[in-house]
Structure 1
Amino acid sequence: MQKMPQYVTINVENILRGELGQDYRRHLGEVCNQLKIPVDRITVSDVLPIARALLRKLTDEMDYETATRVEKKLHIYKLTQDLRTLEGKNDPENIRRRADLLVSLGNLCLSAGMAKEAITYFKNANVLINRINYEAKLGEIYRGLGHAYKMIHDWENAKRYFDKAIPICHKLKDYSGMSDAYAGIGYINWKTGNFSEALRSYQKSLENTNKIGNKSLLVTIYIEYGNVYNEMGDLDKAEEFYKIALDAMSDEKDIWQIARVYNNLGDLELQRKNWEKAIEYFQKCIEYGSKINHARMIGWGYFNTAEALAKLGRANEAIKYCNKALQYLEKINDKEGMCSVYRNYSLAHRVRGDYENAMKYAKKSLSLAKELKRPFLVAEAMIEYGIIKGKEGEREEMANYIKEAKKIFEDIGAERKVKEVDEVIAEYGITDL
């Protein structure tokens, strides 16, 4: 039985209030007026049109992530109401419909950043399909669980579910599903520093993607290939893949991915110590991110610009860019981005000779890198932390951190970073300790 409209209105208002604060009234009132929906008599069938209208409105007025999250949460609410209409209907057809809705809810939760809720929906769907013959959905459930665990950096469980999805997708000749699962495994291996395995997984993902001609997925894989080569230190190979991705994209359709590539190209120039050229790329990242108010890409463009400015000795400007970055990234709880912001704050304060603040931010960066279980970020944070220890006169502790960072880079095969650490060791005379 459908809820009375006033209760639907209350639930919609609660969702919007949680995301938009008291300003939700204005936004809801304007879209309801536009759609000719009585704002105090919203029905379940009105929810999706309202969600789509709010997505357009909030993307223009606020930021892409908030707009998307609002749209997804309203969509989730709509599907939960649909699910309730099927309660108690246990014939195979309705069990199948319930499983479909639960999987859709899981996927929506993923896109809204609600990993724990997604896990619950996918596992509930799994329970249902065990009661009927619905193998086609099982692969999607396992992939969904893989992505959900990946989102919370539970790499072991994420890989386990992607591995379970692959034979099912293979049996069903679901090339899209296989591509997605292999890409998920590639991502896990990249983030955990298993670069050779990451490349193998991305190659399998690419092979399956080519069978279906999914251009969007191809672009993503090319970018991920570039990311792996980037962290391995093969900058020319990384640049090759980034530019393949860039050439395949459209200014109108792929704005956030274009921003992402410009950010990554800037990172290559940082490593090449071409500071001004790096800044040019990061400004392009900010430019494209700003076209759709994409908080993550704007934030990443800002904190990477900050690093280049600090390397140029322009510490005060660098701190201002870090401030801007943090405003965007805290809003969306981008911990990986925040980890890098803290490291760049530390670098900028160190350039200024303010070692107290430099150490404060170095500690934050190192702590967050460990929380994220990202060896590459941990090693980078250790270098900054170690250098500051040296500036404070604690040379032995400095040596311990720098050498540990080098070992991490050696273990994951980040050859260029190993050379960078050797330069730090030589610069600070650590070899004699």
Structure 2
Amino acid sequence: MQNYGRLFELVPGKLELFKKLQLLTEQFKNYCLLSRNFEAANTVFGQIEEIYSGILKKEPGHILVSAHLLFLYETSADLYTKLGKIEKAEESYLQALDFLSKKQRASPGNTTYVRQQGKVYRMLGRAFYEAGDSGKAAQYAGKALEILRELAGKNPEDLHYQYEISDDFTGLGKLFEDIGDIERAKECHMQEINIYRNIHERDPEDEVSEANIAATLDRIGHLYAGKGETETAKQYYEQGLEAYEKLSESYPEDIDHEVGIANTLGYIGKQYSDPEPETALKYYKKALGILEDVVQTFPDVPVYKEDLIQTLGYLESLASGQKQYENAILYRERITELSRQLASENPENFDYKKELAISFKHMGLLYEKAEKHELAKQQYSKSADVFRQVLQDENEKDLMKGLLALDLQKQATILIHEKNYGLAKEYLALLRDYYEALYEKDPEKPENWKAVCEIRTLCGILHKSMGNYDAAIQIYKSVFSILHKHPVSDPDNPDYQSIIGVLYTQLGIAYHLADEYDKSKEAFEKSIPINTRLLDEETENFLHMGDMAVALAEYSKLLTSMGMKKEAEEYAAKADEIKEKIMKKFRFDEYTVEDGDKKAL
């Protein structure tokens, strides 16, 4: 950044420098996301801001620099949100709003800056929603809606502008839907429909506006379906179906309208799946017939295969719900074959490979329900093999592989909790190979040894959950050997303290279950002071609160087993106090707080 600062002083208007700095900003964001490096992000983004601000002081009207500074604020805010630094994210978004307000005051007739303010308010709302603060999310989303209401009636003759505003309403409607504010979500979608109707009145040949009306009616149907208001949902779906049928009559050469009909038939069928499964089946079969014809006619169009997979998924779910597992398996076999085709025909598409692995997983779950456990194991192995190929593929981007590994880690944690040990074991084996290989390649890289520590700890939790206490204990001990190899083993280092605190807690649990009470007590007596120190330093940190709650609760169980009832009650009371605080502050239920295995990761 220091070098870029000097370069901008030497050649301030060179376009290539701006492009390279923007690319570098995006790459650095991805690095910080994977390495969870907030401090580096804060420092470097601050340096980039200084570069742009310095240029704007000399040239306040520099449009390109203004755009890049706004991009920087939004990029940094998005990263801070994903790193859990919501206050810092809010600060960056507010900087963007302040910057846009100044621009708007300098150009009062320019709606571009007003629209961008609406976009930033929407992103702020999304950030707080993802941080678990729906109240503040709704507050910022409301401000975005106020802006869009004003903009909706402007420039009705500018159809390009109208389409842009409709896109803004689409994004905001999705946010309101996620928050649970169905009425304001519906308002956004109705605004979209009004805009599309205005466009169609001014340009009757505009096929896109008609198609968007049909799609938006479906989205409103989704709102009510999500609330369980099936009758209202069906009304909107039927309106959407009617719109698609008219489009198909007017534009018979456009196969997308036939696909729209099929998808909407599927949506209607879902509303009948519980009360009238036979009616649902009729809708699904009708949709299936349309999509099979479309895929046969256009075998090289991936999206049509995706739509067919969705409808087959409805049929699988209906059959499984009625315990017709053989039928469900037949539908899943077709889904898997289509997924295999998509992955094979589009080798550059990361998502298709992932979906193929997930399809094998679902096939395994169906075989479990059908009590065909050996076949289930085979499918789980196939799922793990696909994921393993992706993680070992040198042509895949490291970022995508890293994010996939994190997702699999999360899935493995859930699978352990659900007692699906077979699939959890498959996923953890490939993850351990992946992380151990990275560690062997560069053992000094912090994210590598941290990942190995985490995955070994999770492997220990799996063995503990399966009753293999000795194996779990040995795995936990192997994590200590890694930690002690690195400078991070400084007792004052928070990263070290956090990892080792979890380790001692899990070791204490395993020793307790193995009836080695003295060793268990020794482990807890190391874990609790570490967690106490971390919590004292950051009293509102959810992770530290959770670690402490689990350690105290598990220690209480040990003391009960040792006949130390009074002491056990004291520690249980301390654990309950922290749990209550977590539930009030973060709105988690007691099940989440008490789950030591999920918390450990």
**TM-score, with length taken from structure 2:** 0.37
Give the structure, 1 or 2, with the largest relative contact order (CA under 8 Å, sep 6 or more). 1
Which of structures 1 and 2 has the bigger CA Rg? 2
Q: TM-score, normalising length from structure 1? A: 0.49
